[in-house]
């Protein structure tokens, strides 16, 4: 009887230990889409992404006297490229190579600064994303989207707390991108 209970209990404890040591954050921001623009007549844009952060970590946390580096579950270049493609398609643009305007979405900063004391933690998350629009006629426009988000809680910050903060700040930036029409206006003015 003791053997029957011991092995499953040991397995559960081992799995729990493995789960607690994950260094990957599941980056899944909310994606807001803009209104369709009925004045667009089959304009094609090309889109690519770049990650220009000096460090690929999303957060660095002191856990049990060791510095733990937390990284995203997905390549942020491709994640944000997908987001921009969805937003531009929702506006009414077609996505393809050799577009009238080339769009590049650049991750300049996305980081959660985690500080922990004996009874409280603080997560200060910041994001800085740029969209660079380059028309075939040589005209260029760069638009920056920035957001800050802070949250406090009791005791120590776990991966779930940090993931929520990262997803929130990224969702805020994506929402700002959906509401902003300046890139779309630039495309309309330069897509001929």
Give pLDDT < 50 ranges for the chain: 2, 16-19
pLDDT at 94: 94
| Whole-number pLDDT of residue 92 | 93
What is the tens place of the pLDDT at every residue in 144-157? 999 999 999 998 89
Prediction pTM value: 0.85
At residue 40, the pLDDT reads: 79
Q: Note the pLDDT of residue 4.
A: 57
What's residue 16's pLDDT? 47
Q: What string of DSSP letters covers the chain?
A: -HHHHHHHHHHHHHHHHHHHT--EE--------PPP-TT--S-EEEEEEEE--SS--SEEEEETTEEEEEEESS-HHHHHHHHHHHHHHHHT-EE-SS-SEEEEEEEEEEEEEEEE-SSEEEEEEEEEEEEEEEETTS-EEEEEEEEEEEEEEES---HHHHHHHHHHHHHHHHHHHHH--HHHHHHHHH--
User: Which tokens hold the place of 168?
Assistant: 């929130």
């Amino acid at each position: 009887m003791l053997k029957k209970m011991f092995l499953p209990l040991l397995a559960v404890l081992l799995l729990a230990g493995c789960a607690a040591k994950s260094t990957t954050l599941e980056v899944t921001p909310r994606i807001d889409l803009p209104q369709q623009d009925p004045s667009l007549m089959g304009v094609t844009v090309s889109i690519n992404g770049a990650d220009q952060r000096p460090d690929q970590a999303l957060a660095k946390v002191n856990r049990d006297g060791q510095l733990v580096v937390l990284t995203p579950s997905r390549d942020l270049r491709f994640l944000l490229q997908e987001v921009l493609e969805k937003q531009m398609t929702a506006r009414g643009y077609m996505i393809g190579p050799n577009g009238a305007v080339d769009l590049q979405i650049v991750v300049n900063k996305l980081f959660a600064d985690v500080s922990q004391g004996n009874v409280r933690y603080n997560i200060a998350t910041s994001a800085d994303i740029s969209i660079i629009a380059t028309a075939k006629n040589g005209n260029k426009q760069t638009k920056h989207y920035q957001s800050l988000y802070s949250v406090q809680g009791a005791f120590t910050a776990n991966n779930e707390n940090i993931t929520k903060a990262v997803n929130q700040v990224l969702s805020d930036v994506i929402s700002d991108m959906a509401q902003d029409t300046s890139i779309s206006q630039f495309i309309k003015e330069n897509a001929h």
